[in-house]
Each structure stands twice: as C-alpha cells, then as structure tokens.
Amino acid sequence: MIIPKDPNKFLSSWKYLETAKYITNLDRVIRQKNGDDPLFIQVDDIEKFRDENNNTGLYTSIWYYNSTDINEAIRLGSLYFDLDNKDSDIAYNECVSLYEYLLKFIPELSILVYFTGKKGFHIECEAISLGINPSNNLPNIFRFIASSIKEKLKLESLDFSVYDARRMWRLEGSMHQATGLYKNLIPPDILLSGMDAIKYFCRERVISIIPEPEFNAKANQWFRDFTYDMEIEKEKSKDFIGYFNKYGSTAFKQIETKHKEFTPDRLLDGCKAVARLRQQAIEKKYLEHEARLFLCSILTYNEDSIKFLHSILSNCEDYNVEKTNSHINDWIKRRELGIGGRPYTCERANSAGVGCGECSLEKRNKWIKIGDRYVETQEQSSPSPIRFGYKIVDKGGEHA
C-alpha cells in the first residue's frame, strides 16, 4: 500500500508495520517482538529491514497502523486477495480472471498483482484509489467482498484465512526461502504471458516504482456498494417484532412528506462548532478528517445544505470536488438504506474534538423507521446541531 508522503494528509499517519521472518529450523513464520509487544517498523525503514535479513523469507503486516500500541491502533490496508492452489495453473487462470474483473472498476495502476515466489498470487487494490478509510472492521469488509467475488467468478483458489486482524504478508521484492524466486510486481504484459514467463521474470528482484495513487470515484463507488450490501445483511438480522408485540400497532405512525428548508444563518448562530470550522477553513485553508465528517453529517439533507458544505470545504487547499461528492453520496445512501449516515450528536462531536464543548439542548425520544412508518422508542437520543440547520415545511408551505 502506498501512503501519502505529505505529513499534512490524513492517511500519512498510517506508517507503522509489524514484521516477521521465516525461521528455517522451525519451518514457520515467526512474528518479531519487542519484549512482549509486537515489533513495528516505519514504512521508510523497510529497506533497512530487508538488508539486515538478507531479503529472504521476510514478512510485514498487510495492515498499516497509526500507532505502535496494537491495542489502540486503527488499521488501514488496500483491498487484498490471496490466490493459492496446489495446481499453479488453476491459481494463475483464476488470478487473470480476477484481475480482468477488477479492471472493470479500478484503474490499472491501482491494481497490483504479485507472484508470491512459489505457486500463488497476491492482488492488492490501492486503498487511496478505492477511498478506503481506516477501520478495525476492514478484515470483515474485505472478507465479505472476497466471498461475493468468489461466488460471482466461481473461484476456488481464494484463501479466506488471510482476512484477520494481524495478517502477515510476504514482503514485496523478497526472496522465497524455498524456491529462490522473488515476490515481484508483475506487469500486465508478463501476467498475460503465462506461468513460465512469470517465473522467469521472478528469478531476480525487480524494483518497481509505484506512483502515489489518486482517488477514483468509480472504484470508490464499487467498493462502497459492497459495504452497503454487508450492512444491509446485518440489518436483516435485527428483530423489530419484539417491539411490535410489546407496544402494539399504536406505536406506529405514518411518515408525512415534508420538506426541509436549510437555514444557514440559524445554524451558524446556533452551533458555535460549525461556525468555528467554517472560519478555520477560510483562514487556515485546512480542516481535519473528523471535522469534515462532522460537517458532512449535518449538511447533506438537501441541495442548499450540500452547496453550503461545498462552500466551506472549497476554502481548503486540498479540496477535491469528486472526492467530496463521493463522501456526500455515501452519507446520503447510508441514511436512505438505514445503515448509518446519521448526523453527529453534540456528544460525539465533542468527544471527537470538533464540537463546541458545551451543549444545553434537551434530549428527545428516538424514532426508528420500519417500512413506511416510524416507531417511537423510549430510548432518548442525544441532541445534535442539525436542529439548528433546518426548518420543516409541510405541503402547504407553512412551517411546522
């Protein structure tokens, strides 16, 4: 995975990797430790790690971490696939099939195909290109995607044991201890030339210069669609019948079609946090990742609020219209599907360091949507700045 070199970019903090080595007399891969803790290296120290260990039988974690405390760190990684089969021809043919499928959605430069040095292949789809955000749920998301693709393409070589929270991955450019072949990045022309050409290409280490990937809206949408499907599967398992049995049909009310009128001045006057972040974008030309998520959660309910969100973010030096629209569409889609996309509460904003630090709004009972009806629960929701942002207008044009 390629991480940004610019220290001002959010993902540049994900620079730590675990390390491991193949131990010959044990015939197994052993994770290196610093006492009782995992041994981490920074991305910039990979070549030193390689040189100190004769570049043979070396592994690093597939996950990049933003901390050397394994219990506190958040994971980030490129979407990856491991194709392994006793019959290397089957693994090869399925690798090509998967590669050609991925090309329909992901830029060629963001799909990295490696021969592992023995009989398998690794495919990595660059995290930045797909718009993958750091999360400790990534192993589950990647497993879900691999499972979906395996069924679609009828692949038998996909290894699902690799989707765990501490997965080690053979180091690119290192020598396989058993075959003497290198795990090289395979160019498309070599990949399509067959196994003999690939093995010949991997007799020596080939240093490949991989450019820093760019966000791609099509690839991001393809990735997000899988995450929606995964969340929908989770939602299907939730039990609303118990609530109906407890409260009866009187607990339901019909959804009324009303229009949300965005009132930016009222929002800025009512929420000091939004006003402060807007001013920060104007003066400092920068907003942190969490601040952007907070604003996105509040300002994605109609066209006027989305325009206001763009007007704030466009002050930032790294403003990207395509990427911003992708995040907005994701927030709206999750809200429509009932799998997220809810506005930040004041409590969440404060805990994330983007709130105003004080809140005097009262709590209200939560309503959940079931079909075309709402159910009022006895659970109270924390107040949110969204209350300041919109006025509800009924069909007759009167404010409710």
Q: Which residue has the higher pLDDT, 367 or 161?
A: 161
Q: What is the DSSP letter of 37?
A: E
User: Region 303-311: what's the mean pLDDT?
Assistant: 95
Per-residue pLDDT at 236 = 65
Q: Are 84 and 120 in contact (CB under 8 A)?
A: yes
Q: Could you tell me which of 156, 183, 146 has the C-alpha nearest to residue 94?
A: 156
Structural domain 10-217, CATH architecture:
Alpha-Beta Complex (3.90)
pLDDT band of residue 373 (cuts 50, 70, 90) is low
What average pLDDT does range 354-369 have in this prediction? 71
Which helix (DSSP H) or strand (DSSP E) does residue 195 occupy?
helix 195-201
Q: How far apart are CA 243 and CA 326, in angstroms?
A: 36
Average pLDDT for the chain: 88
Q: Binning pLDDT at 50, 70 and 90, where does residue 256 land?
A: very low
**Region 347-374: what's the mean pLDDT?**
73
Contacts with 109 (C-beta within 8 Å, 6 or more apart), sequence order: 210, 211, 213
What are the domain boundaries of the chain?
A: 10-217, 241-393
Q: Angle at CA 212, nearest 5°, toward 197 and 38?
A: 85
Q: Can you give the pLDDT at residue 255?
A: 39
Lowest mean pLDDT among 4-13, 14-23, 219-228, 356-365: 356-365
Q: How do residues 98-147 score in pLDDT, each as one tens digit?
A: 999 999 999 999 999 999 999 899 999 999 999 999 999 999 999 999 99
**Residue with token string 């997965």:** 167
* pLDDT tens by residue, 64-84: 999 999 999 999 999 999 999
Distance CA 266, CA 228 (A): 33
Report pLDDT for 290.
92
